[in-house]
Structure 1
Amino acid sequence: MPLLTLAPAITRATTFAGSLDRLPELLDELTRRGAPKQEGFAGSTAATAEKPMDQQRHLNPASSAPAAPVKPLHCIVKLGGAAITCKNEFETINEENLNIVSSQLRQAMILGPCHGVDWSRRPGSSEIPTVVDDLDDQLDLDSKKFIVVHGAGSFGHFQASKSGVHKGGLSRPLVKSGFVATRISVTSLNLEIVRALAKEGIPSVGLSPFSCGWSTCERNIAMADTTTVGDAIDAGFVPVLHGDAVLDSLQGCTILSGDVIIRHLAEKLRPTYVVFLTDVFGVYDRPPTEPGATLLKEIAVREDGSWSVLKPELQDMSRQVEITVAAHDTTGGMVTKISEAAMIAKLGIDVYIVKAATNHSERALKGLLKEGVPDDWLGTIIRLAK
C-alpha cells in the first residue's frame, strides 16, 4: 500500500513529529475509526453529537406560505490556507490567487450575468467596487448551491501557536489573550474572502463556528448545529466558514480546523462533490519538491477504510513519507488531512484535491470530472471503490 502525502510548498519546515514507519496502519485506522483529536486549524476530526438534519431543519410554524423547492447542495469547497495566503508572511493574502479563485467560483456557481455585491470601501482604498445605482433589480440569478470553507494560512496560526490556544487552559491570561487574538486574525481573513467573493457577484456571508455555537469536548466536536448554514443556503446565500478558536467543555478552548468543518458539513448536508484547493497539484507519494515525486491521480477508498491507488500504478509500494509543517503551524498535518478526504469519500462523495487558481481547479469546481478524468487533468480524485 503506498503512502500518501499532501505537502504544501514550505520554506521553513520541520519534520512531522510522529512514527513514519507506522503511517500505513495509522492511515487505515484513521479512516476506519475517525481522525484523532484536533491539534490545529488544518488537522482534526471528530465524533459528533448532533441530531439529523431532518430533525433540525424546519419551517417557521408562524408562516403559512408553502416552502419553496430546495435545490440539493452542489459542492463544498475548501480554500487551503497555503493557497490563498502567503503562508510564511505574517497575515498576508495571496491577492492574485484569491481573485482567480473567486472568479472561478463565480463561473461554477452562477449561470448567466451577475453584478458585484460589495458596496463598501475597503480600508485604505478610495474605491467602492459596486455602484448601487447601476444594479439591475430584476436580474434573476440562476445559481448552484455552494459552501466555502477556508483555512487560516498565515492568519491565526502564529497567535494560536504562541499562546497555546489549541492546548486549552482559558484560565491563563496568555491563552485567553491568544484566543481573542486568534479570532481577530481569522475573522479578518474571513471578511477579506467574503469581500473578494462579493466583488465577483457571489452573495456570500461569513459564518464563524464560534458565533454559531460550535464547540468541542476534549477537542472532539460536541455541538455543531448546521441549521444556520442550511438556512443561509436556502435563502440564496453562500456561507463562508473558517477554522476558528472555540470553547471546549473539558480543556476550556481549542482550535476547530477547517478540515474538520468540511467533513462535518459533508456528512450532514451531502454535497454532490467536494473540492480541496491547495498550493500543490494534489496528493503525492512523497513531498512534491523531491525528485521523482509521483502525483497520485485516483485513490479508491473501500467501505472498511482501506484504500488503494488506481492511477498511476506504483512500482515501489513501500517508500517512506517525509511530512513537514511550518514551524508556526498548529496543525500537525497531512496524515489527518488525507484521512478527512478519505472519510468524505466513504460517504459516496467524490473528493477532488487540486492546485488553486489553475485550469485544473476550474474544471474541478465546475464538476466536469464526474463522468471521467481527462489525461491532461492534474489533481487527485479520492472516491468510494466500486
Structure 2
Amino acid sequence: METTIIKLGGALLTDKSKPFSLRYSVLNRISREIAHAYRKCTSRIIVIHGGGSFGHYVVEQHDLLHSCDAISQTIWFMREMNMIIADALSSFGIPVIPFDTHALTTIENNEIHIHLKPITYALSLNLVPLLYGDIVLKENGADIVSGDEISWYLGKQLKPSRILFATTVDGVYDKDPANPDAKIIRILKLSDLRTVDFGKAKGFDVTGGMKTKLFLGLKYLDEGIREILIFSGFREGFVYKAICGYDIEGTKVID
C-alpha cells in the first residue's frame, strides 16, 4: 500500500499572531477528515505539523537558541502542542503514535538524520506516525528543524506516493497573496522558484514560510513521488480529498 505524508501548517492550526492559540475547530475538522481517509483510502499516513504560535513564539522570545532555557522550553511547548494534536486525532479513532522529533533526529555536518525504523515499523502495523517541527541537538548546540524539512526528508527517504502541504492559502501565488492581482500557480516547477514573489510570513515565523518550504524541495525532491500538492486546509473536505487522491484546487509542485 502506498504511503502519504501530510504536513499541517502551524499557521493553519494556530493563530501565529497570538501565542499558544490553537484553532480547535480547524484541528477537529481536519482530524475527522484524516480519520475518514484512513478508513476509506489508505492506512499508511504520516502526519507532520508545524510549530505555529507555540514553537515560533518561544524561539523568538528567547532570541533564537542561545541558552539552555530556550532549548528546553521550546521542546517542552512543542511537545505540549503535539500531544494536543495527537489527542484530537485519537478522538476520531486514528491509531496515532506521537514521535518526538528531537528524540529521533540529530544534525551532523549541517544535515539532518532521522532514525527511520520506528516510523516504518509503525506504518507496517497500520499505525499513524505523528512528527512535528522541533529543536534538534547537534554537537555544541541545537537548531530548528521545521515540519516542512521533515516532510521533504521523509519523502526522499521513504518514497511516498504523495506529499501534501495543508496551508492557510489555496496554493502558491505568482505574487504576494495580499496583492489583489495575485493568481494561483497551478503547476510550479522548482526551477522557476526564483521568479515567484512570496511576500512575507505573518505573525511569529522563524523558519521562513512558503519560500523556505519550496526551496527545501530543491534539496530533497527525489524521483518516485507521484504528487506534491500545496492547498488550503481551511477548505472543508480538502484534507480528505487530497489524501484520497481526488483532484482539488491547489499548486502541484514538479521537478
Asked if TM exceeds 0.5, the reply is yes
**How far apart in 1 are the matches of 2:175 and 2:80?**
34
**How far apart in 2 are the matches of 1:80 and 1:366?**
19
1:383 aligns with 2:250: no
Contact 1:345/1:382 (CA < 8 Å) preserved in 2?
no
Q: Secondary structure at the match of 2:228?
A: strand
**How far apart in 2 are the matches of 1:162 and 1:298?**
38
TM-score in terms of structure 1 length: 0.61
Q: Would you tell me which structure has more helix in proportion to its own residues?
A: 2
Q: Which residue pairs with 2:33 in the alignment?
A: 104
Q: Which residue pairs with 1:232 in the alignment?
A: 122
Match for 1:335 among 204, 211, 235?
Answer: 211
| Cα pair distance change 1:327/1:102, threshold 3 Å | closer
Deviations 1:192-231, CA, capped at 9 Å, x for gaps: 111111111110010011122x11135431x321111111
Match for 1:160 among 42, 56, 59?
Answer: 59
1:356 aligns with 2:255: no
CA-based RMSD of the aligned residues comes to 2.2
**Pairwise mapping of residues 275-354 of structure 1 onto structure 2 (< 5 A)?**
275-301=164-190, 306-307=191-192, 321=197, 323-326=199-202, 328-341=204-217, 346-349=222-225, 350-354=227-231
Structure 2 counterpart of 1:289, which letter? A
Deviations 1:93-128, CA, capped at 9 Å, x for gaps: 1111111111111121113xxxxxxxxxxxxxxxxx
**How far apart in 2 are the matches of 1:147 and 1:271?**
10
Higher relative contact order (CA 8 A, sep 6+): 1
**How far apart in 2 are the matches of 1:245 and 1:379?**
30
Q: Would you tell me which structure has more strand in proportion to its own residues?
A: 2
Shift of 1:346: 4.3
Shift of 1:165: 4.1
Contact 2:17/2:203 (CA < 8 Å) preserved in 1?
no
1:191 aligns with 2:83: yes
Deviations 1:18-51, CA, capped at 9 Å, x for gaps: xxxxxxxxxxxxxxxxxxxxxxxxxxxxxxxxxx
Contact 1:151/1:257 (CA < 8 Å) preserved in 2?
yes
**Pairwise mapping of residues 48-63 of structure 1 onto structure 2 (< 5 A)?**
none
Deviations 1:291-340, CA, capped at 9 Å, x for gaps: 11010111245xxxx348xxxxxxxx96x725213463212343221123
1:257 aligns with 2:146: yes
**How high is the sequence identity, in percent, across the aligned residues?**
28
The unaligned stretches of length 5 or more in structure 2 are none
| Cα pair distance change 1:307/1:231, threshold 3 Å | same
Q: Is the radius of gyration larger for structure 1 or structure 2?
A: 1
1:367 aligns with 2:249: no
Match for 2:92 among 190, 193, 200?
Answer: 200
| Cα pair distance change 1:109/1:342, threshold 3 Å | farther
Structure 2 counterpart of 1:98, which letter? L
**How far apart in 2 are the matches of 1:284 and 1:201?**
36
Runs of 4+ in 1 over 3 A off after TM superposition: 341-346, 359-362
Shift of 1:383: 2.6
| Cα pair distance change 1:348/1:161, threshold 3 Å | same
Q: Secondary structure at the match of 2:135?
A: strand
Q: Secondary structure at the match of 1:240?
A: strand
Q: Secondary structure at the match of 1:337?
A: helix
| Cα pair distance change 1:296/1:197, threshold 3 Å | same
TM-score in terms of structure 2 length: 0.90
Deviations 1:141-173, CA, capped at 9 Å, x for gaps: x8520000100100111211222444xx5xxxx
Structure 2 counterpart of 1:329, which letter? D
Structure 2 counterpart of 1:332, which letter? G
**How far apart in 1 are the matches of 2:199 and 2:43?**
36
**How far apart in 2 are the matches of 1:154 and 1:240?**
19
Structure 2 counterpart of 1:285, which letter? D
Q: Secondary structure at the match of 1:255?
A: strand
**How far apart in 1 are the matches of 2:134 and 2:171?**
25
Structure 2 counterpart of 1:378, which letter? E
| Cα pair distance change 1:328/1:84, threshold 3 Å | closer
| Cα pair distance change 1:322/1:243, threshold 3 Å | closer
Shift of 1:343: 5.3
